């Protein structure tokens, strides 16, 4: 029988903790192939949360308590993960809130996805069958829905619909390998960082629909302003797509700069100047993308696939040039030359960037 541990971070959850623990172990009665354990990680609650858990644990060997200092959600999870890996050694680890906003009845659906081969299962509020509370105000709905879209586009990963929900089932090996990169995150951005690292490791991510309900007791601990800032900062620091766009801007500058030097100063033929400047930009883009944008799946110099990948990179880049040339030519033919630069910017933004990013990921920097 495989072991699954559900980690529940708490701070002042005395009114909720007994109920959520009871409901989790009721679910165990209907699960045959899994041995469920619960670890409550309490961040020095001034109420009697730990006393309640301690009393419950006396009669339940599968309920565990870990007391920590109040350092934020991320730190609570990291300490809990380390304890679970060292002491309980489960096959999978669940993340779950203490306030019953996550329904324990969904646990079997998570386990079913794991049994079918998923490495990381997310409870999504944004796929068919999932939902957020109807009585949420406009501001909170906007923050939740729009925030997820920002993250999805920021990482150019539209397949994962819910990056921020904290109801998840994750294979232990993913958490074990991710922990060294997660220790600096204290707040809710920890959830984004964990999923991002899992995807970069090639984890098979799946989703199940969940109905998210608002807490009935206690207060929410999330600071929306701080969470938004930390999430945006994380995206700008670690998103391969954002780095890819920056590299593209650098390549664009190199291309135009060299063209100007050869054409305006050296008076070289336009076709030759364009050929040289384009290839220099391609070389720059390839190296920067390899060692920065896609460093987590970097091609090693000296290996056969490095030169082969550079050749494929040139082909994809040539395709970009052809698409751009045809697009601008057609646009100017139909709408005139006056706004050629607008056509060029639009084609680069809405066609070239997605085309290049997708093909680079599919053909050159493939997932490991």
Residue 89: pLDDT above 80?
A: yes
Backbone φ and ψ for 302, nearest 5 degrees, come out as 100, -20
Give the residue from 83, 340, 109, 318 showing the smallest Cα distance to 211. Answer: 109
Instruction: Return d(Cα 37, Cα 85) in angstroms, integer.
Output: 13
Question: pLDDT grade, residue 221 (50/70/90)?
Answer: low
Lowest mean pLDDT among 33-37, 68-72, 142-146, 202-206: 142-146
**What is the per-residue pLDDT for 59?**
92
Question: pLDDT grade, residue 217 (50/70/90)?
Answer: low
Query: String of b and e for 230-266 (b: at least 16 CB within 10 Å)?
Result: bbeebbeebbbbbbbbebbeebeebbeebbeebbeee
Q: State both tokens at 162.
A: 């819910």
Give the residue from 31, 29, 22 showing the smallest Cα distance to 110. Answer: 31
Question: pLDDT grade, residue 189 (50/70/90)?
Answer: confident
Q: Return the number of other C-beta atoms located less than 10 Å from residue 71's C-beta.
A: 14
Give the residue from 117, 112, 78 showing the smallest Cα distance to 95. Answer: 78
**Strand segments (E) across the chain:** 2-10, 34-42, 63-67, 92-95, 120-124, 168-171, 205-209
Question: pLDDT grade, residue 344 (50/70/90)?
Answer: confident
β 120-124/168-171 pair status: antiparallel
**What is the per-residue pLDDT for 303?**
57
Q: Nearest-5° angle of CA 149, CA 127, CA 19?
A: 105
Q: Choose from 116-130, 180-194, 324-338 the range with maximum mean pLDDT.
A: 116-130
Question: pLDDT grade, residue 367 (50/70/90)?
Answer: low
- pLDDT (tens digit per residue) in 119-156: 999 999 999 999 998 878 787 788 788 888 989 988 88
Residue 183: pLDDT above 90?
A: no
**What is the per-residue pLDDT for 300?**
67
Backbone φ and ψ for 182, nearest 5 degrees, come out as -110, -5
Instruction: Return d(Cα 182, Cα 238) in angstroms, integer.
Output: 13
Region 346-361: what's the mean pLDDT?
86
- Are 269 and 259 in contact by the 8 Å Cβ rule? The answer is no
Per DSSP, the three-state class of 217 is: coil
Instruction: Return d(Cα 343, Cα 29) in angstroms, integer.
Output: 63
Q: Choose from 87-96, 256-265, 266-275, 355-364 the range with maximum mean pLDDT.
A: 87-96
Residue 332: pLDDT above 60?
A: yes
**What is the per-residue pLDDT for 111?**
98
- 3: β partners: 35
Of 364 and 93, the structure prediction assigns the larger pLDDT to 93
Instruction: Return d(Cα 105, Cα 210) in angstroms, integer.
Output: 10
Instruction: Return d(Cα 279, Cα 170) in angstroms, integer.
Output: 44
Residue 79: pLDDT above 90?
A: yes
Give the residue from 287, 301, 292, 305 showing the smallest Cα distance to 366. Answer: 305
- Are 113 and 198 in contact by the 8 Å Cβ rule? The answer is no
Q: State both tokens at 192.
A: 């984004």
Q: Across the chain, what does the average pLDDT equal?
A: 88
Question: pLDDT grade, residue 301 (50/70/90)?
Answer: low
Residue 48: pLDDT above 70?
A: yes
Sheet holding 120-124, edge to edge: 63-67, 34-42, 2-10, 92-95, 168-171, 120-124, 205-209
Region 232-258: what's the mean pLDDT?
87
Residue 275: pLDDT above 80?
A: no
Region 318-341: what's the mean pLDDT?
82
Express as a percent the part of the chain with pLDDT over 90.
45
Region 59-78: what's the mean pLDDT?
93
Instruction: Return d(Cα 170, Cα 199) in angstroms, integer.
Output: 12
Lowest mean pLDDT among 234-238, 303-307, 332-336: 303-307
Instruction: Return d(Cα 344, Cα 258) in angstroms, integer.
Output: 19
Of 302 and 97, the structure prediction assigns the larger pLDDT to 97
Residue 162: pLDDT above 80?
A: yes
Instruction: Return d(Cα 253, Cα 261) in angstroms, integer.
Output: 12
- pLDDT (tens digit per residue) in 16-45: 999 999 999 999 988 989 999 999 999 989
Region 64-72: what's the mean pLDDT?
92
């Amino acid at each position: 029988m495989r072991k699954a541990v559900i980690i529940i971070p708490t701070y002042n959850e005395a009114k909720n903790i007994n109920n959520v623990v009871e409901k989790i172990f009721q679910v165990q009665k209907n699960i045959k192939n899994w041995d469920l354990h619960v670890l409550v990680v309490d961040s020095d609650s001034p109420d009697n949360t730990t006393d309640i858990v301690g009393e419950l644990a006396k009669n339940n060997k599968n309920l565990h308590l870990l007391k920590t200092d109040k350092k934020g959600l991320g730190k609570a999870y990291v300490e809990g993960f380390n304890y679970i890996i060292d002491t309980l050694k489960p096959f999978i680890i669940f993340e779950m809130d203490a306030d019953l906003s996550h329904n324990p009845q969904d646990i079997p659906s998570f386990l079913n996805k794991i049994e079918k081969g998923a490495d990381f299962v997310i409870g999504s509020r944004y796929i068919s069958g999932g939902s957020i509370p109807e009585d949420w105000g406009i501001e909170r709905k906007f923050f939740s829905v729009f925030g997820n879209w920002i993250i999805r586009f920021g990482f150019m990963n539209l397949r994962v619909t819910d990056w921020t929900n904290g109801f998840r089932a994750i294979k232990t090996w993913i958490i074990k390998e991710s922990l060294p990169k997660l220790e600096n995150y204290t707040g809710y951005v920890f959830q984004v960082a964990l999923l991002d690292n899992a995807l970069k490791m090639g984890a098979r991510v799946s989703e199940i629909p969940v109905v998210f309900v608002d807490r009935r007791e206690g207060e929410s601990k999330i600071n929306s302003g701080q969470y938004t800032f930390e999430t945006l900062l994380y995206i700008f620091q670690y998103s391969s797509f954002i780095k890819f766009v920056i590299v593209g801007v650098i390549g664009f500058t190199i291309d135009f700069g060299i063209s100007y030097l050869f054409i305006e100063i050296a008076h070289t033929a336009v076709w030759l100047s364009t050929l040289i400047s384009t290839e220099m930009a391609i070389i720059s883009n390839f190296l920067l993308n390899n060692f920065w944008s896609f460093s987590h799946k970097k091609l090693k110099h000296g290996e056969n696939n490095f030169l082969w990948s550079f050749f494929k990179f040139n082909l994809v880049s040539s395709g970009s040039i052809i698409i751009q040339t045809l697009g601008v030519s057609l646009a100017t033919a139909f709408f005139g030359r006056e706004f050629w630069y607008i056509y060029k910017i639009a084609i680069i933004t809405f066609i070239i960037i997605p085309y290049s990013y997708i093909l680079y990921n599919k053909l050159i920097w493939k997932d490991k």
